[in-house]
Amino acid sequence: MAETIKYLDFLHFKNHGKIAYIEYPISELPIENTASEQKSMEDLALTMELSTDELAAEITSILENNSSLRKLPLKVLTEELCSRLKLIEAICILATVANGAD
């Protein structure tokens, strides 16, 4: 028997409101763990651990000094900061609407 991995079946939950799983053979998973992909994942994990102030400081350092303390790619830092800014903006909008409803 081939080893399998279970995934949540979101379509089943959406359609029926019940949790179901899909079993998929591990041998058929398209996993390629190249060195560059692993480095990208490590960069992403390190970036997500930074505070928003640290992200801003890293980006500023790269733009002004052409160097970063943590040697993280500008693209990864910028994408994470933009993602957080979108969330902050959504929270501000919700808070403004809730405040106006009083």
One domain for residues 57 and 74:
yes
Q: What average pLDDT does the chain have?
A: 87
Structural domain count, the chain: 2
39 shares a domain with 25: no
22 & 51 share domain: no
Q: Are residues 41 and 87 in the same domain?
A: yes
Q: How far is CA 35 from CA 41, 42, 80, in A?
A: 10, 11, 22
Domain match, 50 and 93 both: yes
Task: Give the residue with greater pLDDT, 60 vs 28.
Answer: 60
Query: 46 and 83: one domain?
Result: yes
39 shares its domain with 20 = no
- Stated as kind and residue range, the H or E segment containing 21 is strand 21-25
| 2 and 15 co-located in one domain | yes
Domain hosting 43: range is: 35-100
Reported as a single tens digit per residue, the pLDDT across 38-82 is: 788 899 999 999 999 999 999 999 999 998 889 999 999 999 999
Percent of the chain predicted with pLDDT > 70 = 89
Q: Which residue has the higher pLDDT, 85 or 7?
A: 85
> What are the structure tokens assigned to 69, written together?
């303390």
Mean pLDDT throughout 92-101? 88
Are 84 and 65 members of one domain? yes
pTM confidence score: 0.61
